[in-house]
Amino acid sequence: MTRIVAVSGSRREASTTRAALAVALDAAAAAGAETDLIDLGAVDLPLYHPDEDVQGDSEALKRRVREADGVLAGTPVYRGSYSSTFKNFHDFCGSDEYANTAVGLLATAGGGSYGGTLEHLRSTFRNVHAWTVPHEVGIEGASRVVETGDADAGPRITDDELRERTERLGRVVVEHAERLRG
């Protein structure tokens, strides 16, 4: 079975990034994939130190990525790029984790600018030999269109076009992951 893991680079309790990734993961599951979510706000991951092999949950997190056929990488936009939380996690992972892995990119912006963030993500994932899928999602004004959910209702995207794009991202990552598994 194709395995897809989403990585949320947000530390916010009511994270629109995590909520949007949940929408994409649901679509991946509906396409037949086994899914998993890494919430970087809820793990023990100290600042990356290149002289230390194992730090906090790093080995378990790297294993989850390495065992995945596809990754949905999501981050809030901070200062025109991705979050320091995502960057720290990304520093732990290399080509051993991402080789022959389909990666879908998602950025949530409080304002309207997410293009630079998606480009930064693309270039860093290419550097670790991941295969970034052509379809990606940027959500401007995320707090207006992404509902994080509660006990009664799960996360959802209220804008139909954005929801469809986000669901498509989940499906596209599954499709490309299956092709790469060949």
For each successive 10 residues of the chain (182 residues), what is the average pLDDT? 98 96 98 98 96 93 98 97 97 95 97 93 96 97 92 89 98 97 81
What's the confidence (pLDDT) of residue 112? Answer: 80
What's the confidence (pLDDT) of residue 182? Answer: 76
Q: Rounded distance, CA 115 to CA 96, Å?
A: 27
Q: Rounded distance, CA 74 to CA 16, Å?
A: 10
Which residues lie across from 103 on neighbouring strands?
Answer: 71, 132
Q: Rounded distance, CA 45 to CA 108, Å?
A: 22
Q: Rounded distance, CA 131 to CA 170, Å?
A: 15
Question: Sign of torsion, CA 62 97 135 105?
Answer: positive
Three-class DSSP category at 62 = helix
**Burial tier of 10 (Cβ tally within 10 Å: 0-12, 13-18, 19+):** buried
Which residue, chain included where needed, has tokens 């023990």? 44
Show the domains of the chain with their CATH numbers.
3-181 (3.40.50.360)
Q: Rounded distance, CA 119 to CA 70, Å?
A: 19
